[in-house]
């Protein structure tokens, strides 16, 4: 099994987190019946204003999935104790969540608060899952 130093494992985690987030947005929106996003960025605040509470579940799950998958990948490939690395990747995605709030207008503050509360638990869960996967591979090698 390939093991990396902290820098490369963190880079892998960051690179995994971005598509893990974005690839869930459209399917979650379709599953929940969220209206299609506008073509023009200027209409985004009006678009968010049409959201019902259920429409915010998709972005929450997608954002937290990015933290979970990124932390899992980083922890899995790092050769040392990876809890701090997993939480570092979660912090990277957390910063993306804060930036998302300020770049995309019209989001309620309650959504931001709930969103930000989930990144670090998702990152920790990614760490736990990676430890379990690494344990299985150690037993089979």
**Could you tell me if residue 41 is inside a domain?**
no
pLDDT confidence of residue 3? 66
The strand pairing partners of 78, in sequence order, are: 4
**Could you tell me if residue 67 is inside a domain?**
yes
φ, ψ for residue 130 (rounded to 5)? -65, -40
Quick one: which of 18, 61, 92 has its CA closest to 84? 92
Q: Which two tokens stand for residue 98?
A: 């804060």
**How many domains does the structure of the chain reveal?**
1
* Distance in angstroms (rounded) separating the CA atoms of residues 24 and 65: 8
Assess contact for 89 and 65: CB atoms under 8 A. Answer: no
**Could you tell me if residue 27 is inside a domain?**
yes
pLDDT confidence of residue 137? 62
**Could you tell me if residue 42 is inside a domain?**
no
Domain that holds residue 94: 6-35+47-140
102-117 pLDDT tens trace: 988 888 999 999 999 9
Assess contact for 35 and 54: CB atoms under 8 A. Answer: no
Q: What's the whole-model pTM score?
A: 0.88
Assess contact for 67 and 89: CB atoms under 8 A. Answer: yes
**Could you tell me if residue 13 is inside a domain?**
yes
**Could you tell me if residue 1 is inside a domain?**
no
pLDDT confidence of residue 140? 46
127-141 pLDDT tens trace: 999 999 988 665 444
**Could you tell me if residue 40 is inside a domain?**
no
pLDDT confidence of residue 99? 93
φ, ψ for residue 25 (rounded to 5)? -60, -50
**Could you tell me if residue 136 is inside a domain?**
yes
Q: Per-residue pLDDT tens, the chain, 141 aa: give them.
A: 566 788 899 999 999 999 999 898 889 888 988 888 888 877 888 888 888 888 899 999 999 999 999 999 999 999 778 899 999 999 999 999 999 899 888 889 999 999 999 999 999 999 999 999 988 665 444
């Amino acid at each position: 099994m390939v093991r990396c130093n902290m820098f490369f494992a963190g880079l892998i985690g960051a690179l995994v987190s971005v598509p893990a987030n974005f690839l869930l947005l459209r399917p979650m929106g379709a599953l929940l019946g969220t209206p299609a996003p506008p073509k023009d960025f200027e209409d985004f605040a009006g678009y968010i204003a049409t959201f019902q509470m259920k429409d915010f579940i998709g972005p929450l799950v997608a954002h937290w999935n990015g933290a979970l998958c990124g932390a899992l990948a980083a922890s899995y490939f790092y050769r040392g104790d990876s809890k701090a690395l997993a939480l570092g990747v979660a912090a990277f995605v957390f910063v993306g969540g804060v930036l998302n709030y300020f770049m995309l207008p019209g989001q309620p503050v309650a959504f931001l608060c709930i969103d930000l509360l989930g990144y670090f638990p998702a990152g920790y869960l990614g760490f736990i899952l990676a430890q379990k996967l690494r344990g299985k591979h150690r037993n089979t090698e």
